[in-house]
């Protein structure tokens, strides 16, 4: 995997109880890449599948959401979609959500 334009910036607050914040940016190209994320979510019924699709559509940058070939897979395609935020939002409802693959779509 090729990564370009890595810059690290840090801000330290003296006399404050805040912890230091460090930001990492991977350049303009990485934010605009179209990604395909496949998640494994335990869905037993049609209602659970509908809830999982609705939760996935609320994440920023999502263009399309679909069920995978297997019944417990959710496929998300979008630009700049954060797979970790997607997993966290699905775990709030379903208690388990695993990231299977994250791939670049051309």
Strand partners for 66 = 75
Single pTM value for the model: 0.67
Provide the mean pLDDT of the chain.
78
pLDDT band at residue 31, thresholds of 50, 70 and 90? Answer: low
- Which value, in Å, is the radius of gyration of the alpha carbons in the chain? 17
Residue-level pLDDT at 14: 43
Q: Count Cβ atoms within 10 A of the Cβ of residue 75 and give its class: 0-12 exposed, 13-18 middle, 19 or more buried.
A: middle
Q: What is the assigned CATH class of domain 31-104?
A: alpha beta
Residue-level pLDDT at 71: 83
31, 41, 52 from 1: Cα distances, Å:
15, 27, 30
**Which of the two residues, 77 and 17, has the higher pLDDT score?**
77
């Amino acid at each position: 995997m090729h990564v370009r334009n890595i810059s690290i910036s840090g801000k330290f607050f003296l006399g404050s109880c805040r912890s230091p914040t460090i930001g990492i940016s991977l350049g303009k190209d990485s934010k605009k890449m179209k990604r395909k994320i496949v998640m494994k979510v335990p869905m037993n019924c049609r209602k659970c599948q509908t809830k999982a699709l609705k939760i996935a559509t609320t994440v920023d940058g999502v263009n399309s959401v679909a069920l995978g070939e297997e019944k417990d897979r959710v496929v998300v395609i979008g630009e700049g979609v954060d797979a970790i935020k997607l997993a966290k939002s699905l775990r709030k409802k379903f208690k388990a959500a695993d990231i299977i693959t994250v791939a670049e779509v051309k």
